[in-house]
Amino acid sequence: MDRDELLGREDEAWSALVGAFDGVPEDRREVEGVVPGWSVKDLVWHCGYWADYVGDVLERMSAGQPEPPDQDWESLNQMVAEDGKGKTWDDVIVAAERGRDRARAALIAMTAVTDAAASEFTDETVDHYEEHAAEIVVFAAAGQR
């Protein structure tokens, strides 16, 4: 898949995520239960964090630097979730958009988009957005019954 296709897929998935969380009333965005222990706000924060993370990974790839060392991803996800709980909705949205912008800019700046770079980008943006948008849609629908 080439850069333009990747960017197009990311844009479509982001738009679907925005549409999903826009469908949740403001007073329900911090209610846990979209997935166990997580709210809409938590998932948007999570998506923004990982988009920013993949921006860093792609920047490292472009510079010929090694990827960050492997970590305890579950612990890192928990730390990210806890960090987001103290943020306002507006702060989360701004951070998520910045993360998204960083990922897109890093992909655009790459001289050549390797299969590894495309996979990293897709995993942390497109796939993440689509997964959590679907969960948010189900959560929103359950609240309208």
Task: List the single range of 17-21, 54-58, 81-85 with lowest mean pLDDT.
Answer: 81-85
* CA–CA gap between residue 68 and residue 83 (Å, rounded): 20
pLDDT of residue 94: 97
Q: What percent of the chain has pLDDT over 70?
A: 98
* CA–CA gap between residue 55 and residue 67 (Å, rounded): 11
Mean pLDDT of 121-126: 96
Second CATH level (architecture) for the domain 3-143:
Up-down Bundle (1.20)
pLDDT of residue 80: 79
* CA–CA gap between residue 63 and residue 19 (Å, rounded): 35
DSSP 8-state secondary structure symbol assigned to residue 81 = H
Higher-pLDDT residue of 65, 88: 88
Mean pLDDT of 92-99: 96
3-state helix, strand, coil in the chain (%, to 5): 75, 0, 25
Mean pLDDT of 16-38: 94
pLDDT of residue 144: 62
Reply yes or no on whether the pLDDT at 122 is more than 70: yes
At 70, is the pLDDT very low, low, confident or very high (cuts 50, 70, 90)?
A: confident
Reply yes or no on whether the pLDDT at 145 is more than 70: no
pLDDT of residue 72: 73
Rounded to 10°, the helix 40-62/3-22 angle is 160
Report helix, strand or coil for 38. Answer: strand
Instruction: Please provide the average confidence, as pLDDT, over all residues in the chain.
Output: 92
